[in-house]
Every structure is written in C-alpha cells, then in structure tokens.
Structure 1
Amino acid sequence: MVVPVVETYAELGRRVLAGPARLGRTRLVAVDGPSGAGKSVFAARLADALAALPGGGRPPVVHTDDLLDGWDDQLTFWPRLESRVLAPLRAGRPGGYQRYSWVRRSFLPREVPVPPAPVVLVEGVSSARAVVRPELTLAVLVAAPAERRLTRAVARDGPGILPELRRWHAGERAHFAADATADAVDLVVDGDPAVPHDPDREYVRLRV
C-alpha cells in the first residue's frame, strides 16, 4: 500500500547538507522521472530551500534537456554530461556546458558554468541512472500518471510534439524498467498530489 506523506523542502535540504559528498567535494542530487512529472519544479523548490538554509547557498541546477542533441539523444547524452560537468566537479574544478536550442536545433556558443559548489542538482530523465548512483548524495524520482504528464507536455509545447513525445515516452518506460530506477532511489515524490499541502514549502512523498 502506498501512503502519501507531506514533508518540507527545508527538511530535505538539511538532509542533503548533512549527507556525504561523493562527487569530489560536491553533494550531487539527481531529480529523475518521466517527462511532465514535475521534476523541474521539484528541483527549483529544493534549490530555493537550500538557498534559505544557513551555509547552504543556492546550488547550480543542471537540466539534462539542455544537453540533449535533439529528440534522438534521449539517453545517449550522458558522455557529454560526464565530460563537461561530472568529471570536472569530481576533480574539484568548475564544469560547464553548452545549452541546446530546441528552436535552432543546435548548441548555443555561450557556456553555462557549473561551479564546484557544496551541492549541485541534476534534473532530467535518467539523471539517477545506475552508473552515477555511487556518487549521489540523494536520488529522487518524481512520478505522475501518464495522462497527466501528457496533458502538461502538450499544454507547454503544443500538440505538434505528440508524435515525438509518444516515442519519447516509450523510451522512458524501457529505460526505467531496465534501470530499476524506482527501486534504487532514496525518495519517490508524487508529482500530481491530491493531498493538501503548501506546494511552495512542501512536497508529497510516496511511502510504500
């Protein structure tokens, strides 16, 4: 039986800061889950909560969608993240990457810096994949019903993306099944909760 539990982002932020740094001196947090589940919102609110904590500071948030070389790079972008962001942070050096423009269909020339901060968040599909788990301080999976996720994506990007989106969803399902992500993460969050809570300060954890 799944029991929803309301928890605060501040409490989670304190948990992250108290956890061990496993990527060099950086506490790496992965916010994973299928498209439209609410990963970006969760990551932003956790970053805000960390910024409000003593000694926290607002952590950099890396969105893996910014590293994809188009729709066909759904899962194969990882070497780009590893070489440009994770490897430098592991060595205590600043990282940086070029953001992909989905309008121009190419990477923009300006580099997005990723400093070796005490905490860095990586948000996106497959961000908590097995290869990086030993270096994660916290792995989060944000979940929501498929119908709700599809509605959100179409409202955000328009119905023209439906053919690519359905193919994308199939790729997600295959990845999460093979990776056993839901069984490996530290926290599963309800991305479409019906439980009363303050969404700016609180999230709903799905406790099994």
Structure 2
Amino acid sequence: MHALVRRLRRLAPSCGPVRLVGVDGHAGSGKSTFAGLLAAALDDAPVLHLDDIACHEELFGWDGRLLTEVIAPLARGTTAHYRPYDWVARRFGHARALPPAPVVLVEGVGAGRRALRPHLAALLWMDLPREEAWARGRARDGEAQRAFWAGWVEAERRHFAGDPSRPFADLLVRQLKQGYEVLAGPSGRLGPDRFVTHREGPSAMC
C-alpha cells in the first residue's frame, strides 16, 4: 500500500494537525479489514471504528457525539476521549483515548456523512454493491444476528438515501483476489491515478 500511504501523507491536515481519512461503504464491504491494513502501513495509525460510536438506539444518529467527543478535541490538537459501545451488554464502556496523530482513520458506515466531510482530508469508499456486501455481512454474523440485520438494512437504506457518501468519495477501493484496486472517486479531488495493492503474506505492497 505504499503508493496510497504516500498519497495520504502528502495531504494537508484537515482537522487541526490531523489528516482525518474516512473509510466508508456498505455494511459487510470490508471496511474494517482494509482500514486495519492501511493503518499498519501508516505505522500503526489510530483507527476510530464507528461501531464504537453507534448504538442500538442511535444506529446513525451519533454525529453530535462524534463531533463533540472526537472531532472538536482533535481540531484543537488534543487527545480525544470516547466511550466505545458494547453491542452485547448494550451499554457504553470506559473512555478510550484517540491521539491527534498525523493520520487518523475513521471507518464505518457513514464515515463520509455530511456532518463529517468538512473535517476529512480524504474519503475512501469500499466499492462493493450493497446486496453483495449485506450478504457477506449476514454470512459473517450468522443466524444469531438475523433480526438485527433486518433492522440494520432498512436503517442503512434510509441513511444513504438522505445522506449519501459515495458521490463524495475521493478514492474507490475494490477488493481483488490478490489485494485491492484503488481508483479515483467521483469527487475528482485526488486526480486520475490508479494503482493496485497486492497482498503477500501478512503485508500489503504496491
């Protein structure tokens, strides 16, 4: 992922001293896996998982808390603190620190939402059709989460209908049999470059 890493590091800070990079896409599209690989290539850049910000009562109505608990402190150049949500116990846990690193990744459905976009240096979209992504997610989570998925799909449909992310994506990420293909996104902000990352063992490289 060296080419993508170089590109992101060249971006101007977008949230105080931080280059905040969103990784969005439909549930089940591979956001967490890709963000983990990208974070490792960025010398273990911090990753904020939006599953830690959302909760059963606020699947998508969490932008106020995100702006207050995370964006505002990072914009001041200070460490943010948020309480990750426990989806089994249905309660928020102990505070977790998020430092103002040179690059911070925000991954999850809605990472490119309207309220967050002004604070992003770049928005990446995992370019997998929603039905395929949802099928992967259901298979991953199993029968125990069948009822939750039924409610989630409808909530995600409503969210993206009113607040789409893909039209504003700077880069599209497509998973291949061996690694990922990264293409210029609809926003046109980051130019026409196209490159492919190839996975060799635990690492990823261009």
Bucket of the pairwise TM-score, normalised by the shorter protein: 0.7 to 0.9
- Three-state SS of the structure 2 residue aligned to 1:73 is coil
Aligned equivalents of 1:16 and 1:183: distance in 2?
20
**2:165 equivalent to 1:181:** yes
Is the 1:34–1:169 Cα contact (8 Å) retained in structure 2? Answer: no
- The unaligned stretches of length 5 or more in structure 1 are 1-8, 52-57
Give the fraction of aligned pairs with identical amino acids, expressed as a percent: 39
Conserved in 1, the CA contact under 8 Å of 2:17 and 2:75?
yes
Q: Deviations over 1:184-208 (max 9, x none)?
A: 11012224x3xx53x2xxx123568
- 1:45 pairs with 37, 42, 45, which one? 37
| Residue in structure 1 matched with residue 189 of structure 2 by the alignment | none
Partner of 1:5: none
Q: How does 1:40-189 map to 2 (within 5 A)?
A: 40-51=32-43, 58-70=44-56, 72-108=57-93, 110-189=94-173
Which runs of 4 or more aligned residues in structure 1 lie more than 6 Å from their structure 2 counterparts after TM superposition?
none
* Aligned-pair CA distance for 1:15: 0.7
Deviation at residue 145 of structure 1 after TM alignment: 3.3
CA shift at 1:160, angstroms? 2.6
Q: Distance in 2 between matches of 1:179 and 1:92?
A: 28
CA 1:17–1:101: 2 relative to 1, 3 Å: same
Would you say the 8 A contact 1:32–1:126 is kept in 2? yes
Which residue of structure 2 aligns with residue 18 of structure 1? 10
Distance 1:84 1:167 in 2: 27
Q: CA deviation at 1:156?
A: 2.8
Tell me which residue corresponds to 1:6: none
Assess if the C-alpha contact under 8 Å between 2:22 and 2:123 holds in 1.
yes
**What is the one-letter code of the residue matched to 2:135?**
T
TM-score by length of 1: 0.82
TM-score when scaled to structure 2? Answer: 0.83
For residue 103 of structure 1, what is the amino acid of its counterpart? V
Give the equivalent residue in structure 2 for 1:4.
none
Deviation at 1:38, TM superposition (A): 0.4
Give the one of 29, 33, 36 matched to 2:21.
29
What SS does structure 2 have at the residue aligned with 1:131?
coil
Whichever structure has more helix as a proportion of its residues is 1
The 3 A distance-change label for structure 1 pair 155 and 180 is: closer
Higher RCO, 1 or 2 (CA under 8 Å, sep at least 6)?
1
Please say which of residues 111-120 and 168-177 is displaced more in the overlay.
168-177
Q: Which residue of 2 aligns with 1:54?
A: none
User: What is the deviation of 1:116?
Assistant: 0.9
RMSD: 1.8
Unaligned runs of 5+ in 2: 186-206
